């Protein structure tokens, strides 16, 4: 057991529920609203980028767009076999810098429809139509607002929050071809209670004409001017997925269609049968397919029972859809392709620098924490959206444990760095309890700056909080040699493994025992164990790695070891 910080235990006993609520409500809160800057992404046909204004459409955060491609576009066994392109002709992922300011009436902290502080409810669009009549009624009331929806999908494991967005436009109740124009609208176009035409939220001067930073008009928050955006940058899916590096008869494949018909690697000429789930030969090359047993849910019993090397087919880039780390790696590769600084070195996937000074905490809103329970805080670390989060290890239990842990630096954000209530009240000074790592300076024992970390859960938590791959690799090397009695045989692989052992905040559920069990591919153990403890450790680690590495198996990559995957995909994560 750790040492409780002075006075916190007594405080927890003495405070009544009413006093605790008053204590939480006393936090200083921001007043007033400004437009926020966020980045929106969309999977689409490259030829259509910039052709039409962005309205009556759904967009996504970076991970949200990648998830859409992976779950809705690529799967071979549910697609037309002799198609000439990907579904919907999607060949790029596009990125825009948006400014957003929704109407005050919608984003009031007391309004039941406000989402993530700055947004309204998400609207589902299909061919320019808001498909839900209830959503159309909300548009009639609030106008052309920007909506958001937190995403979670059992088909796509991902540890960090990710989002879909919607932008309401002119005549949102009719299909593109039926709307008419603002000057000559279809008489059936949606109108508000006063009979005024719903013109949408895109500000009249749009978009930027030079680059992403050139946003012509800042939104006013009027129902007809809630967002503006700059010009798009794009990433070609063929290049991202490695299609243009595949061989097509002694030359590099030029695009998806060339790969489809001419790829030389015969292991790509297989797909799953929709009805039986068997792997069947096909007369074309397959970009990606996943077993019907895993298509709808990675946790389905039939999927879990299926040997991992039989779950997926196609390009190495797309394999591992049920692996949170593999999906995180893909997101970072996409961010790097967009030129986002630190994408593949600092786990940076697109938060704009301006988000650091954009507030989340407003009077009466959700982002005003109790320091005794460690929440609710909010952070814009994920896609620039105010995401509720919590600091674990406070003296009182926090009820919203399904929320993510806050980033380590959440207390340095504009909302909390001058919080009059002070830092969270931690129940201990043990680093493994995590709370003390958030305080500035940290109040952990041993202190985070200790040069030689203990080889236990406290040392692991401290190493992760340093957010440095080299330091984490040093800790893991000492763990292997001094505690496990092993030699490091793959320093480069261990360095890559170390990169995925830290992030913006602590990793939920990650323990030192789990880390030890996944180190085996990078180590060599003595041929003869000196004692029963060493023998047991070696056996358990080797057994654990069978299950943890299996997720990388495939028909074209028979070696399912982590090191084999790392050689095939430079920079790829372990199978966790």
User: Is the per-residue pLDDT at 402 higher than 80?
Assistant: yes
Higher-confidence residue of 442 and 57: namely 57
Q: Are residues 250 and 312 in the same domain?
A: yes
Q: Are residues 68 and 202 in the same domain?
A: yes
Confidence of residue 232 (pLDDT cuts 50, 70, 90): very high
Give me the mean pLDDT over the 486-490 stretch. Answer: 96
Q: Are 162 and 61 in contact (CB under 8 A)?
A: yes
- Cα diameter, the chain: 86
User: Is the per-residue pLDDT at 533 higher than 50?
Assistant: no
* pLDDT for position 446: 84
Confidence of residue 233 (pLDDT cuts 50, 70, 90): very high
* pLDDT for position 354: 65
Higher-confidence residue of 354 and 207: namely 354
Give me the mean pLDDT over the 272-286 stretch. Answer: 97
* pLDDT for position 308: 85
User: Is the per-residue pLDDT at 324 higher than 50?
Assistant: yes
Confidence of residue 200 (pLDDT cuts 50, 70, 90): very high
Percent share of the chain, pLDDT over 70: 83
C-alpha to C-alpha distance for 445 and 431, rounded to whole angstroms:
7
Q: Is the peptide bond before 376 cis (omega within 30 degrees of 0)?
A: yes
Q: Are residues 46 and 195 in the same domain?
A: yes
Q: Are residues 123 and 269 in the same domain?
A: no
* pLDDT for position 349: 87
Nearest to 126, CA basis, from 78, 189, 58: 58
* pLDDT for position 157: 96
* pLDDT for position 227: 97
User: Is the per-residue pLDDT at 573 higher than 80?
Assistant: no
C-alpha to C-alpha distance for 28 and 361, rounded to whole angstroms:
9
Asked whether residue 5 is domain-assigned, the answer is: no
* pLDDT for position 32: 56
Asked whether residue 292 is domain-assigned, the answer is: yes
Percent share of the chain, pLDDT over 90: 74
Nearest to 316, CA basis, from 292, 342, 286, 339: 286
Confidence of residue 265 (pLDDT cuts 50, 70, 90): very high
User: Is the per-residue pLDDT at 23 higher than 90?
Assistant: no
Last residue of a domain, one of 176, 210, 237: 237
Provide the residue range defining the domain that includes 300: 242-322
* pLDDT for position 180: 95
Integer-rounded Cα radius of gyration of the chain: 26
Strand-pairing partners, residue 557, are none
Give me the mean pLDDT over the 117-130 stretch. Answer: 96
pLDDT in tens, 517-530: 999 999 999 874 44
Asked whether residue 192 is domain-assigned, the answer is: yes
Q: Are residues 284 and 308 in the same domain?
A: yes
CA distances from 468 to 327, 376, 462 (A): 21, 27, 11
E strands, 449-511, are: 487-488
Asked whether residue 536 is domain-assigned, the answer is: no
* pLDDT for position 380: 95
User: Is the per-residue pLDDT at 215 higher than 90?
Assistant: no
The number of distinct structural domains making up the chain is 4
pLDDT in tens, 164-179: 999 999 999 999 999 9
Q: Are residues 181 and 95 in the same domain?
A: yes
The pLDDT mean for the chain works out to 85
Q: Are strands 146-150 and 120-121 parallel, antiparallel or unpaired?
A: parallel
C-alpha to C-alpha distance for 287 and 70, rounded to whole angstroms:
11
Give me the mean pLDDT over the 19-42 stretch. Answer: 61
Q: Are residues 200 and 273 in the same domain?
A: no
* pLDDT for position 213: 47
* pLDDT for position 355: 67
Q: Are residues 149 and 43 in the same domain?
A: yes
Q: Are residues 64 and 145 in the same domain?
A: yes
Worst-scoring range by mean pLDDT, 92-96, 329-333, 342-346, 557-561? 557-561
Give me the mean pLDDT over the 369-386 stretch. Answer: 94
* pLDDT for position 31: 40
User: Is the per-residue pLDDT at 546 higher than 50?
Assistant: no
Last residue of a domain, one of 205, 237, 269: 237
* pLDDT for position 214: 52
Asked whether residue 483 is domain-assigned, the answer is: yes
Asked whether residue 437 is domain-assigned, the answer is: yes
* Half-sphere exposure (Cβ direction) of 283: Cα atoms closer than 13 Å: 3
Centre a 10 Å sphere on the Cβ of residue 196 and count the other Cβ atoms it contains: 12
Q: Are residues 218 and 71 in the same domain?
A: yes
Q: Are residues 67 and 166 in the same domain?
A: yes
Residue matched to tokens 């389905």: 300
Higher-confidence residue of 101 and 309: namely 101
Give me the mean pLDDT over the 257-284 stretch. Answer: 97
User: Is the per-residue pLDDT at 555 higher than 70?
Assistant: no
Last residue of a domain, one of 401, 416, 445: 445
* pLDDT for position 13: 31
Confidence of residue 557 (pLDDT cuts 50, 70, 90): very low
User: Is the per-residue pLDDT at 266 higher than 70?
Assistant: yes
Strand-pairing partners, residue 289, are 313
Q: Are residues 75 and 188 in the same domain?
A: yes
Looking at residue 421, the DSSP 8-state letter turns out to be: T
Asked whether residue 548 is domain-assigned, the answer is: no
249 — alpha (psi -120 to 50), left (phi > 0) or beta? left
Asked whether residue 226 is domain-assigned, the answer is: yes
């Amino acid at each position: 057991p750790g040492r409780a910080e002075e006075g916190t235990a007594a405080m927890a006993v003495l405070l009544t529920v009413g006093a605790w609520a008053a204590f939480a409500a006393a936090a200083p809160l921001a007043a007033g609203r400004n437009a926020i800057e966020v980045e929106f992404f969309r999977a689409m046909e490259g030829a259509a980028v910039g052709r039409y204004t962005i309205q009556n459409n759904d967009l996504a955060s970076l991970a949200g767009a990648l998830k859409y491609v992976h779950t809705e576009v690529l799967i071979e066994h549910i697609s037309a076999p002799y198609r000439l392109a990907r579904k919907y002709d999607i060949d790029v992922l596009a990125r825009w810098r948006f400014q957003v300011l929704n109407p005050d009436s919608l984003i009031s902290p007391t309004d039941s429809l406000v989402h993530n502080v700055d947004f309204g409810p998400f609207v589902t669009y299909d061919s320019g139509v808001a498909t839900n009549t209830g959503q159309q009624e909300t548009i009639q009331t609030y106008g052309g607002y920007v909506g958001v929806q937190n995403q979670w999908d059992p088909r796509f494991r991902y540890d960090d929050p990710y989002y879909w967005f919607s932008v309401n436009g002119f005549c949102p109740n009719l299909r593109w071809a039926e709307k008419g124009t603002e000057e000559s609208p279809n008489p059936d176009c949606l109108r508000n209670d006063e009979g005024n035409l719903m013109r949408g939220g895109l500000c009249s001067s749009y978009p930027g004409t030079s680059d992403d930073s050139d946003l012509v008009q800042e939104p006013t928050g009027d129902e007809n001017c809630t967002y503006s955006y700059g010009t798009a940058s794009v990433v070609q899916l063929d290049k991202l997925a490695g299609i243009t590096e595949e061989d097509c008869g002694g030359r590099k494949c030029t695009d998806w269609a060339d790969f489809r018909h001419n790829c030389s690697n015969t292991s790509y000429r297989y797909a799953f049968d929709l009805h039986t789930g068997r792997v069947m030969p096909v007369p074309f090359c397959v970009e990606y397919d996943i077993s019907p047993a895993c298509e709808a849910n990675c946790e389905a019993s039939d999927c879990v029972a299926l040997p991992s090397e039989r779950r997926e087919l196609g390009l190495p880039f797309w394999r591992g859809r049920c692996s949170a780390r593999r999906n995180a790696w893909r997101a970072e590769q996409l961010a790097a392709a967009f030129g986002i600084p630190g994408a593949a070195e600092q786990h940076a996937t697109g938060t704009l620098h301006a988000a650091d000074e954009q507030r989340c905490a407003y009077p009466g809103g959700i982002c005003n924490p109790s320091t005794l329970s460690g929440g609710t805080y909010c952070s814009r670390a994920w896609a620039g959206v105010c995401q509720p989060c919590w600091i674990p290890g406070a003296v009182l239990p926090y009820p919203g444990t399904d929320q993510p842990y806050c980033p380590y630096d959440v207390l340095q954000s504009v909302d909390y760095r001058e919080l009059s209530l002070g830092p969270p009240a931690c129940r201990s000074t043990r680093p493994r309890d995590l709370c003390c790592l958030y305080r500035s300076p940290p109040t952990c024992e041993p202190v985070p700056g200790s040069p030689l970390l203990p080889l236990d859960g406290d040392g692991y938590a401290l190493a992760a909080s340093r957010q440095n791959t080299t330091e984490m690799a040093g800790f893991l090397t000492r763990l292997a040699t001094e505690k496990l009695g092993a030699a490091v045989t793959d320093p480069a692989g261990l360095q890559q493994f170390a990169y995925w052992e830290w992030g913006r905040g602590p990793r939920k559920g990650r323990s030192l025992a789990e880390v030890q069990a996944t180190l085996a591919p990078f180590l060599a153990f003595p041929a003869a164990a000196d004692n029963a403890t060493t023998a047991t450790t070696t056996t358990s680690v080797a057994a654990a790695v069978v299950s943890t590495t299996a997720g990388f198996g495939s028909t074209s990559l028979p070696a399912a070891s982590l090191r084999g995957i790392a050689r095939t995909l430079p920079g790829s994560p372990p199978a966790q």
